[in-house]
């Protein structure tokens, strides 16, 4: 009885230990794995988003003063500057005539004259009579100029001895101006102190129009004699700002940073934050305050402004005559093609990676729960039976274990009593190991067959590329092709078509014979296209053939036609990596197109693009294998690195540029096996 009690106690202890050793670590590992995967998913999203913002900013800050948006800002600021300069010239012309007018000139008092009361002071009255006669010529000039200048709503001359002349003339204008006392107005005293033309405002006049006042002092014999002023409507500039098309939002600030002119409709989206305040110097964004300081100082150029939701891009130029500055704001993601391409590609990678991590986390959680339940059940059952059959016969089990260690599987353990299930377990284990060994041998044989298939597919890859390249005066065309042992097929073709050169690069995803056959068929279709001289028709024809003969498969393809005589290129892009061109000055242009891969739609109608090829231009076509080459830290080579490498070597021949790219790829990957084909074609015009 004591022996049975000890056996039962030992069984219960063994059961408890089995449960603890099996379930507790599994539960801890499951919880830790889920936590790590969740953290990794968040880190990937945050890091890639941060990288996207950084790359977009880098793309927008390359040659910031040469961008088209900056040139537009300069042109608009010059247009407005000319408007204010013309107004200032006219006002100063009237002032110069008022300063030198003949006081003895005989004329009737011009209309629009108001004279301040002088009481019985005969000397003052006589002096004003002289002043009135001296204003005859300036009055005529003022009337003529005002009739031709639609933006001037009121022009006036006010003298130090109390004579006020206005045009257009009306009793209401005279009475309103006189009642205010023009000599007490701020613009009168400021012009007198400044001794030069000044601008005041803007403000809203009685008609609800945005208006600014220009004032020029009059000096006679070195003494201040009065002022010439104009009230200038800015509605024509407001209308021009509102009529500007495109995604940009135009605006004008004064010398204090206050936004004085802008379209009637406020911007929406990411730019809304930039214009939340009426003064850029009071904006929440430090970049917006830096922008305000640059514009106030009279600089021109562009700046990337960090906003809450996304970056903004502002091009600006000064309006020097009045001390204001003109700017155009754009959402940063809608700027350059390289920025859009890099941003869209990174965000897609972020979404795909995060989605994959989330799916993996959910699957891991489900598998962990199933394994937890199954393990608990097995441990409980096995421990229960084992605890009832612990008896002895250790020698027999030890002998069986020794035979297993020597690789002998053809034996049977015979035990009795409570240890009989353990003996049966030993026998089952031996049988299982024997079956597993046989399975490994079968898999080894299968791997031998797979090697033959791999050699077959590698041979197909080698035959998918042209053996030679066509030669044209003034152009170098070279290619690098390194096929991988992995899935997927790169295709490229460079062939003469009449007096032109047809260029194509495509990628087939997938593995096995079906993908290989699509690759072979695609290259044949590209070579045999009936409309080689029309990229749009050639792509449409290839799409029809894929839909008909390879339904369910897709082909990303770039097709171009180079004219080496007229130095132009026509192209279409059906979902392939956008090639890029680096010009002699190091500027980059991307050949996008936004199309989807062939085989996705029954009908494909892509519009071809036409671009010039300038002397020194370097065009690069590349496959995913180039930019997805990984280093030892599993980081991709990337498009930006490839572009910068070509920029730094753009002055060399195409052969040296290609060698530099090949060398950089090898050094970056440390000769690791490629995950996909590496294909790059370089065309350079000498």
Same domain, 86 and 195: yes
Average pLDDT over residues 646-664: 94
Burial code (b: 16+ CB inside 10 Å, e: under 16) for 59-94 equals bbeeeeeebebbebbbebbbebbebbeebbebbebb
pLDDT exceeds 80 at position 216: yes
DSSP element (H, E) containing 685:
strand 678-685
CATH number of domain containing 643: 3.60.40.10
The answer to the question of residue 341 being in a domain is no
Predicted confidence (pLDDT) per residue in 236-245, tens digit:
998 888 888 6
Same domain, 492 and 612: yes
Same domain, 175 and 306: no
User: 572 or 530, which is more confident?
Assistant: 572
Q: What's residue 444's pLDDT?
A: 40
The answer to the question of residue 398 being in a domain is yes
Predicted confidence (pLDDT) per residue in 314-367, tens digit:
999 999 999 999 999 988 776 654 444 455 555 665 566 667 667 766 777 777
> Which tokens is 346 given?
């990174």
Query: By C-alpha distance, which of 364, 366, 361, 382 is closest to 22?
Result: 382
- Asked whether 123 and 73 are in contact (CB, 8 A), the reply is no
Distance of CA 172 to the CA centre of its chain: 58
Predicted confidence (pLDDT) per residue in 152-169, tens digit:
988 889 888 888 888 776
The answer to the question of residue 340 being in a domain is no
Q: What's residue 175's pLDDT?
A: 53
Length of the chain (residues): 686
Same domain, 437 and 530: no
The answer to the question of residue 616 being in a domain is yes
Predicted confidence (pLDDT) per residue in 256-293, tens digit:
999 999 988 888 777 888 888 899 999 888 999 999 99
The answer to the question of residue 67 being in a domain is no
Domain count along the chain: 5
Same domain, 639 and 592: yes
Q: What's residue 614's pLDDT?
A: 95
Same domain, 376 and 434: no
The answer to the question of residue 259 being in a domain is yes
The answer to the question of residue 411 being in a domain is yes
Write the DSSP assignment of 198-229 as a string of letters: EEEEEEE-TTS-EEEEEEEEEEETTEEEEEEE
Same domain, 519 and 484: yes
Domain that holds residue 4: 1-61+347-384
CATH number of domain containing 318: 3.30.450.20
Predicted confidence (pLDDT) per residue in 447-501, tens digit:
444 455 566 667 677 777 887 888 889 999 999 998 887 777 888 999 898 889 9
Same domain, 274 and 414: no
Same domain, 190 and 57: no
User: 23 or 121, which is more confident?
Assistant: 23
The answer to the question of residue 69 being in a domain is no
> Model pTM?
0.44
Same domain, 157 and 203: yes
Query: By C-alpha distance, which of 262, 320, 253 is closest to 288?
Result: 253
- Asked whether 310 and 270 are in contact (CB, 8 A), the reply is yes
Same domain, 513 and 587: yes
Same domain, 95 and 34: no
DSSP state of 464: T
pLDDT exceeds 60 at position 16: yes
């Amino acid at each position: 009885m004591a022996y049975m009690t000890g056996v039962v106690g030992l069984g219960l202890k063994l059961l408890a230990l089995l449960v603890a050793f099996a379930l507790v670590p599994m539960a801890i590992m499951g919880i830790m794995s889920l936590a790590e995967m969740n953290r990794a998913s968040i880190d990937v999203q945050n890091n890639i988003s941060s990288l996207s913002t950084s790359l977009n900013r880098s793309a927008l800050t390359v040659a910031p003063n040469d961008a088209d948006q900056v040139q537009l800002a300069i042109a608009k600021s010059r247009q407005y500057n000319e408007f204010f300069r013309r107004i200032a010239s006219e006002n100063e012309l009237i002032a110069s005539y008022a300063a030198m007018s003949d006081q003895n000139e005989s004329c009737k008092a011009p209309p629009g004259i108001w004279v301040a009361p002088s009481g019985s002071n005969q000397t003052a009255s006589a002096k004003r009579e002289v002043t009135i006669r001296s204003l005859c010529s300036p009055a005529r000039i003022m009337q003529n100029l005002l009739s031709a200048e639609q933006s001037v709503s009121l022009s006036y001359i006010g003298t130090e001895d109390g004579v006020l002349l206005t045009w257009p003339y009306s009793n209401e204008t005279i009475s309103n101006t006189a009642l205010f006392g023009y000599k007490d107005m701020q613009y009168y005293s400021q012009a007198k102190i400044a001794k030069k033309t000044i601008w005041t405002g803007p403000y809203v006049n009685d008609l609800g129009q945005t208006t600014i006042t220009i004032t020029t002092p009059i000096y006679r014999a070195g003494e201040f004699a009065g002022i010439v002023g104009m009230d200038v409507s800015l509605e024509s500039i407001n209308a021009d700002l509102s009529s500007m098309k495109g995604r940009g939002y135009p605006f004008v600030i004064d010398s204090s940073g206050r936004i004085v002119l802008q379209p009637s409709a406020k911007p929406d989206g990411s730019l809304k934050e930039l214009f939340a305040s009426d003064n850029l110097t009071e904006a929440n964004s430090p970049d917006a305050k830096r922008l305000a300081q640059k514009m106030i100082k009279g600089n021109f150029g562009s700046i990337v402004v960090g906003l809450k939701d996304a970056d903004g891009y502002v091009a600006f130029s000064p309006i020097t005559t009045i001390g204001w500055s003109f700017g155009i704001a754009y959402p940063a993601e809608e700027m350059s093609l390289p920025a859009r391409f890099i941003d869209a590609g990174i965000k897609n990678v972020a979404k795909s990676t995060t989605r994959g991590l989330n799916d993996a986390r959910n699957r891991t959680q489900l598998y962990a729960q199933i394994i937890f339940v199954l393990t608990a059940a097995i441990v409980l059952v096995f421990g229960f039976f084992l605890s009832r059959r612990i008896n002895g016969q250790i020698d027999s089990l030890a002998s069986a274990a020794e035979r297993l260690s020597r690789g002998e599987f053809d034996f049977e353990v015979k035990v009795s009593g409570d240890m009989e299930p353990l003996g049966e377990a030993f026998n089952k284990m031996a049988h299982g190991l024997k079956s597993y060994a046989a399975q490994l041998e079968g898999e080894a044989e299968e791997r031998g067959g797979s090697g033959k298939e791999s050699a077959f597919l590698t041979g197909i890859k080698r035959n998918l590329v042209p053996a030679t390249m066509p030669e044209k005066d003034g152009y170098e065309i070279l290619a690098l092709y390194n096929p991988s042992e992995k899935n997927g097929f790169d295709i490229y073709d460079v062939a003469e078509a009449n007096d032109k050169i047809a260029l194509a690069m495509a990628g087939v995803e997938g593995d096995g014979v079906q993908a290989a056959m699509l690759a072979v068929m695609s290259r044949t279709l590209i070579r045999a296209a009936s409309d080689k001289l029309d990229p749009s028709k050639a792509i449409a024809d290839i799409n029809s053939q894929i839909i008909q003969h390879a339904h369910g498969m897709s082909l990303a393809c770039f097709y171009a036609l180079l004219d080496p005589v007229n130095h132009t290129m026509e192209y279409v892009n059906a979902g392939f990596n956008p090639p890029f061109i680096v010009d002699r000055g190091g500027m980059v242009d991307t050949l996008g197109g936004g199309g989807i891969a062939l085989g996705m739609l029954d009908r494909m109608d892509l519009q071809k693009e036409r671009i010039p090829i300038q002397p020194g231009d370097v065009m690069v076509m590349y496959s995913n294998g180039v930019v997805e080459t990984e280093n030892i830290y599993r980081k991709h080579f990337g498009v930006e690195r490839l572009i910068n490498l070509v920029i730094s070597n753009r002055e060399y021949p195409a052969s040296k540029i290609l060698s530099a790219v090949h060398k950089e790829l090898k050094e970056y990957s440390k000769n690791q096996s490629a995950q996909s084909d590496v294909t790059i074609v370089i065309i350079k015009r000498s």
